Amino acid sequence: MKTTDDNDDEDNDETNTSENNIIVRVLFCGEEFIGGFEATKRYTEASSSSSSSSSDGVTVKVQNCPRERVKDMIQEYDVLVPLMTRFDETVINSAAGNGSGDRGKKLSKCKLILQFGVGLEGVAIDLATKAGIKVGRIRSDSNPNATSTAEMGVFLTLAALKKVNECQISVENKVLGSPMGESLFGATVLFVGWGRVAKAQAKMFKFGFQCKIYALRRKRERKGEEDDEDDNELLDGLYEGDISDVDLVGNFPSGRNNIVVIACTCTPENRKMVNKTFLDSLKFGEERVPGIVVNVARGALVDERAMREACENGMVLYYATDVCYDEPVDVGGDLLSLGENGKRASNIFVTPHVGGVTVNSYERMGKIVAEYARKIVKEKRIESDECVSIVN
């Protein structure tokens, strides 16, 4: 933590703080998802002008920087928000003060890596632990992020059913009454993953569109784990294990309104689990018809080349996703590259990872980041609470 007694050239903006005030510095590592940085900064600036926050002797300073500068800056900050920056061995070593160059020789201030959300797949947690750096995420039940992402899932589903790409082509060509879409009402939906986002979206489908809801989740690791009380009300069927364990013939009608929603956590073990074998198995009803795939989880769960081929050959009717394997998405990559006809696949729809990017969600998470940074200074310990989960 920095006090005004620490007076070096890089911190001239802090020399006006009273000498008893402690400054905790938070760095957003990247310029993506700029709304998170801006929401946190707004909250800290508003807080610093209030009498209640100034009286506790702690001021939170927030800054962001491009990804390429992260390694050289992180030692000067107490809390690091990784966003999409990969915290690999090189970055972790720099954060711990073990890097090369002038900054690598300085004592690091870094105490905590705190994600602006729940995704920590880009952070080498074991290396951070060895370096003595805590790693945390914002609890999904502490803010509206899960609901916002669930809303995005409904939007993507409707975009696929209503053939949003083809609609745009019709608008450009002044064609009315085409394309003919499908209805979400009464559709059958299979969630791959059954966490907060999936359950929030399932409620929207179930009670808003009278859909039948099925879920596939990983096998329980601990015996005696109880299901959520909502499960009985929401689910028409619950499976554990692999996609091959789901009765797609018996439980799904032979129609075009069968939807698979990818909503599970991404781990090293399930990267590219939505591959050719997975997609070949998505045959619904006795007539074994294909369905729609929606992704509100992580792009790395999907083998995008296999998905593109499945969409082109009709094995998947539509793929609508808010996440991609590489982000920002490569428009020349497997999903969005031009085909032999010089056009992109009309049944692939991509949005720029904005599912949880809403005013309500970001303002709440900005407050959580700022207040948790303040808390660890005041209480001199880093541990889980009702808003933040420390994972190491």
- The answer to whether 57 and 21 have CB atoms below 8 angstroms apart is yes
Q: Say how far apart CA 282 and CA 263 lie, in whole Å.
A: 16
Through-space distance between the first and last CA atoms of the chain, rounded to whole angstroms: 21
E strands in 187-313: 188-192, 212-217, 237-240, 258-262, 291-295
Angle, helices 196-209/145-161, rounded to nearest 10 degrees? 50
Contact 387, 138 (CB under 8 A): yes
Map residue 83 onto helix, strand or coil: coil
Tokens read off for 378? 């005041």
Q: Is the pLDDT of residue 202 over 90?
A: yes
Q: Are 290 and 284 in contact (CB under 8 A)?
A: yes
Model confidence over 93-131: pLDDT tens digits? 999 886 544 444 444 689 999 999 988 999 999 999 999
Q: What is the dihedral of CA 83, 306, 146, 353, to 10 degrees?
A: 40
List of residues 6+ apart from 152 with CB closer than 8 A: 296, 322, 351, 354, 355, 356
Residue 291's closest CA among 156, 178, 189, 180? 189
**pLDDT recorded at residue 12:** 41
- Per-residue confidence (pLDDT) for residue 50, from 0 to 100: 65
Q: Where are the alpha helices (DSSP H) in 227-358?
A: 229-234, 248-251, 276-280, 304-312
205: pLDDT strictly greater than 70: yes
Mean pLDDT for the chain? 89
Token readout for 168 is: 């745009």
| Banded model confidence at residue 7, pLDDT cuts 50, 70, 90 | very low
> Tell me, what's the pLDDT at 51?
54
Separation between Cα atoms, residue 52 and residue 158, nearest integer Å: 46
Ordered structural domains, the chain, with CATH:
2-143+358-390 (3.40.50.720), 145-350 (3.40.50.720)
**Could you tell me the pTM of the whole model?**
0.88
Whether the pLDDT of residue 324 is over 80: the answer is yes
The more confident residue out of 300 and 231 is 300
Q: Do 254 and 291 touch, CB atoms closer than 8 A? A: no
The tokens for 66 are 């491009």
Phi–psi pair at 123, nearest 5 degrees: -110, 125
**Residue 157 contacts by C-beta under 8 Å, 6 or more apart in sequence?**
184, 205, 259, 261, 292, 294, 320
Q: Is the dihedral of CA 166, 168, 172, 178 positive or negative?
A: positive
pLDDT at 49 over 80: no
Helix ranges, 68-173 (H) = 70-73, 89-95, 101-104, 125-130, 145-161, 164-172
386: pLDDT confidence band, cut at 50, 70 and 90? very high
| pLDDT one-digit tens code per residue, 65-97 | 999 999 999 989 999 999 999 999 999 999 988
| 170, two tokens | 């019709």
**What percent of the chain stands above pLDDT 90?**
72
